[in-house]
Structure 1
Amino acid sequence: MQIRPATPTDADAIAAILLPVFRAGDTYAIECDISRDAALAYWMAPAHDVSVAVGDDGELLGTFYLRANQRGGGAHVANAGYVTAAAARGRGVARAMCAHSLDRARAAGFRAMQFNFVVATNERAVALWRGSGFAVVGTLPRAFDHPQHGLVDALVMYRDLAQ
């Protein structure tokens, strides 16, 4: 697997990865009926440094973005979002993207990384982020309306990049 910067020619493959996840409505606070163009505009926003994970066969396995979590006095903390293609789940793609994004964040001068809204029922992601050194620093009670579980907590997770 190779992780590289996304290019405009990756748009169709990125959309194919994003849309099923966004439309499922169980991990991202994104409208379930989001259009392809709106999903790509969100993911590939000018402030997002977007990368893709590519398999040996050239197929896109996942994508992530890296950005400053806040502006001004909060710009030293990074934020990222990750989506793995359904067919690539369980193969270490998200773990590799997270490790790569942490290295890129450090290289870009960020001092920490924060995930603002991790849906608590997304147990695989929570376990992965914990295993990658993130701690839950806050819980937003019943902040996410899950399509199967109703109102569930969202977690704020944080990692110091000096560690």
Structure 2
Amino acid sequence: MMIRDAEDGDWPSIYPFFSEIVAAGHSYAYPADLSLEEARAWWMEHPPGRTVVAVQGSTVLGSAKMGPNRPGRGAHVATASFMVDSAHAGRGVGRALGEHVVDWARRAGYRGIQFNAVVETNEVAVRLWRSLGFAVLATVPKAFDHPEHGLVGLHVMYLDLEE
């Protein structure tokens, strides 16, 4: 597996799993039924942000987007989002993307990484981020409308890159 910057030609390979994950409603609050071009605007970052893909040969396994969490006086803290194609789940793609983002943020001089909205019932993601050193700072109760669990909390998670 290799992680590289996403190119325009990667979007048609990202969109199918992007739309599948958004439609499932378990982990992202993006609008449902985004067209190919509407979804591209939500996922493909522009500088100072960045979008990457995890690939094996010509197959896109997953993707991550990253950049400053806030502009201006908040730009010293990064944020990121991750999606892995369900056909490639359980193969370490999410971990590899997570490690890549942490390394990128350190090299880019960010002082921390903040995830603003990790769905508390997304146990795989919460376990992964904790294993990479992230802590749950707070949980906003009933902030996410899960299709099976109803209103559940959103964790704000943080990794201090200066420790």
Tell me, yes or no, whether TM beats 0.5.
Answer: yes
Alpha-carbon distance between aligned partners in 1 of 2:61 and 2:78, rounded to the nearest angstrom: 23
Q: Is the 8 A contact 1:68 1:77 kept in 2?
A: yes
SS at match of 1:80: strand
- Is the aligned partner of 1:37 residue 2:37? yes
> Which residue is equivalent to 2:26?
26
- Structure 1 stretches lacking a partner, 5+ long: none
RMSD (Å) for aligned C-alpha atoms = 1.0
- Residue matched to 2:53: 52
Percent of paired sites with the same residue: 47
1:88-135 Cα offsets, whole Å, 9 max, x none, are: 100000000000011111111111000000000100000000001000
Equivalent in the alignment of 2:160: 160
**Shift in Å at residue 162 of structure 1?**
2.4
State the AA in 2 paired with 1:122: N
> Gaps (5+ residues) in structure 2?
none
Q: CA deviation at 1:35?
A: 1.9
- 1:14 is matched with 14
Change (3 A) 1:45 1:4: closer
Q: More displaced, 14-23 or 75-84?
A: 14-23
Q: Output the amino acid matched with 1:53.
A: A
Q: 2: CA distance between counterparts of 1:119 and 1:38? A: 23
| Further displaced range: 28-37 or 114-123 | 28-37
Cα distance between partner residues in 2 of 1:157 and 1:114: 6
Q: Give 1:160 deviation, angstroms.
A: 0.6
1:69-92 CA-to-partner distances (Å, cap 9, x unmatched) read 011111100000000011110000
Q: 2:69 is aligned with what amino acid? A: N
Q: TM-score, normalised by structure 1?
A: 0.96
8 A Cα contact 1:22 1:34, kept in partner: no
Query: Which moved further from structure 2: 39-48 or 98-107?
Result: 39-48
Matching of residue 104 in structure 1 with residue 134 in structure 2: no
Query: Normalized against structure 2, the TM-score is what?
Result: 0.96
